[in-house]
Chain A
Amino acid sequence: MTTHLIEVRNVTKIYGSGSKSVVALQNVNFEVRENEFFTIIGPSGCGKSTLLNLIAGLDKPSSGEIVIDGKKVDGPNPELMAVVFQEYALYNWRTVLSNVEFGLEIRGVSKVERREKALNYIKLVGLSGFEDKYPFQLSGGMKQRVALARALALETKVLLMDEPFGALDEQTRLILGMELTRIWEETKKTIVFVTHSLSEAAYLSDRILVMSARPGRVKKIIEVDIPRPRDPNSDEVNRVKAMVWDEIKDESKRMMEVAL
């Protein structure tokens, strides 16, 4: 039996008011299953990051509601979900270890216990030996590993990722994607992953939600039943990529026309 861990019901988000208001999301409905790798993809500016922020409780929908694990979202809930941002959001004045401990520190976990956990997750993301480095001494890929370890250390059911590999080069993306798959399988989390990369969506996901251009709506949800481990260059992955592209290309064009 599959259970729905996250339910997004009739969510609309409007920014501004009066004639200057922008409808970022309109009547968005979908569910995310437990232990699922769920990807949201769409043309830039379609509101996919907005949607993730709403799920994370960092912003409130104008109407509709989001229910996670039976509870309505009305603010950040670090017991239930952790967030990874595209910009890493690391604290430059803290070492890698201390960055990873941050969330646990706020939770009030004892020093010994949070150190142990942090070291554990630093190892899991492959950064052992870098505990005492500062973020500015690391490459982009390593920074995002630190951010991932920090989110994992909260040991939440849900992991929300907002274009986490968006600022990285292609090779680093591929490698981090493979490692994320491994970590996801080891930790049995439910991941909601926002991306604009077709390859990432096709290669990583159980299901892909394709969003329409502004106002953001659910255009289609694509099931990906390619067995893992997957080869990012296999025919199956390329076929899914083509399917996603079919759905998304008109939306991207529309978005560009709006922009022009």
Chain B
Amino acid sequence: MRLKIFIYQLLILAFIIILWEFSSKAVPKVFLAPASVVFPLLVDIWLTNLDIYTHLYTTGFEILLSFGLATACGLLLGFILGTWRLLRDTYEPILSALYAVPSVVWYPLLLLFLGLDVASKIAFAFILSFFPITLTTMQGVSNVDKVLVKAAYSMGASKLTVFYKVVLPASLPIILSGISTGLALCVTGVIVGEMLGGIRGLGVLIASAATLFETAHYFVYTIIVIVIALLVNQIGKLFERLSWRS
């Protein structure tokens, strides 16, 4: 069954690549570089152009750092708001409203304050993923079935024990799904940030290839981003599988 699905997925992928190859014949080269040019170029860049590793390293560093910071801050604030009713009722509307603002509007300000290099990307990706992590953690913690808590109290558990033996494990699946969403948003934030203005990174490469109409290069970098996104998605799923619910 799984093998069958895998084969079908490969077939779809092959179909897309063939469609891509043929449709690129029908439009000017600037619009669509054919697969037969893009894949050899990808191999060539990978093997001969060592610069790509610097850019990859920068992008990876930005993703990891922003994700780490957003997770740490989001979990902390989410736990506090989740356990403390008054604070939650006070700040939840503000957080939700801020979350609804398209984060990209903050980016010019971040560039101004933090400059064109990595700091502004990290801050931008942080803003993007901090909110969903905080809000899901808060919801996970505050929605724990009350009777589970009551049962623990009836067995003599202290508040602290209830938190780490009941509330934490009970909300873990939701918290982990929030973290997984946050990770995906960090990748988006970093790439978008780099594309909108930066010095190093995959997004910078994509933006400059696009501006210079180097369509084949543009596709090569885009494929690399897709591969990173798929990898990150798998890591996110791994996070979710850590919980007892699966």
Q: Does B147 sit within 8 A of A, measured CB to CB? A: yes
Task: Flag A105-133 by CB within 8 Å of B: 1 or 0 each.
Answer: 01100000000000000000000000000
Partner of B155, one of A92, A106, A134: A106
Summed over the interface, the residue pairs from A and B with CB atoms below 8 Å come to a total of 55
Binding site for A on B (CB under 8 A): 145, 147-148, 150-157, 161, 165-166, 169-170, 172, 244-245
Tell me, rounded to whole Å, the shortest Cβ–Cβ distance linking B111 to chain A: 45
Q: Would you call B155 and A154 a contact (CB within 8 A)?
A: yes
- Residues of B contacting A77 with CB < 8 Å? 156
- Residues of B contacting A154 with CB < 8 Å? 155
- Residues of B contacting A83 with CB < 8 Å? 151, 154
Partner of B156, one of A91, A92, A103, A150: A103
Tell me, rounded to whole Å, the shortest Cβ–Cβ distance linking B241 to chain A: 14
Assuming the A-B contacts A85-B147, A91-B169, are A76 and B154 also in contact, with contact meaning beta carbons closer than 8 angstroms in the complex? Answer: yes
With CB as the reference atom, state the residue of chain A lying closest to B162. Answer: A106
Tell me, rounded to whole Å, the shortest Cβ–Cβ distance linking A136 to chain B: 9
The docked-state distance in angstroms from the alpha carbon of A229 to that of B152 is 34
- Residues of B contacting A76 with CB < 8 Å? 153-156
Partner of A89, one of B148, B244, B245: B148
Does more than half of chain A's interface fall in helix, strand or loop, or is it mixed?
Answer: loop
Q: Does A78 sit within 8 A of B, measured CB to CB? A: yes
Tell me, rounded to whole Å, the shortest Cβ–Cβ distance linking A9 to chain B: 22
Q: Does A165 sit within 8 A of B, measured CB to CB? A: no
Q: Does A102 sit within 8 A of B, measured CB to CB? A: yes
- Residues of B contacting A87 with CB < 8 Å? 145, 147
The docked-state distance in angstroms from the alpha carbon of A183 to that of B245 is 33
- Residues of B contacting A91 with CB < 8 Å? 148, 166, 169-170
Q: Does A56 sit within 8 A of B, measured CB to CB? A: yes
- Residues of A contacting B169 with CB < 8 Å? 91, 93
Assuming the A-B contacts A78-B155, A102-B155, A154-B155, are A92 and B150 also in contact, with contact meaning beta carbons closer than 8 angstroms in the complex? Answer: no
The docked-state distance in angstroms from the alpha carbon of A78 to that of B151 is 11
- Residues of A contacting B161 with CB < 8 Å? 106
The docked-state distance in angstroms from the alpha carbon of A87 to that of B154 is 14
Tell me, rounded to whole Å, the shortest Cβ–Cβ distance linking A189 to chain B: 16
Q: Would you call A106 and B156 a contact (CB within 8 A)?
A: yes
Could you jot down 9 A-B contacts, CB within 8 Å?
A: A58-B153, A82-B154, A82-B155, A83-B151, A85-B150, A89-B150, A102-B155, A106-B157, A150-B155
Tell me, rounded to whole Å, the shortest Cβ–Cβ distance linking B81 to chain A: 23
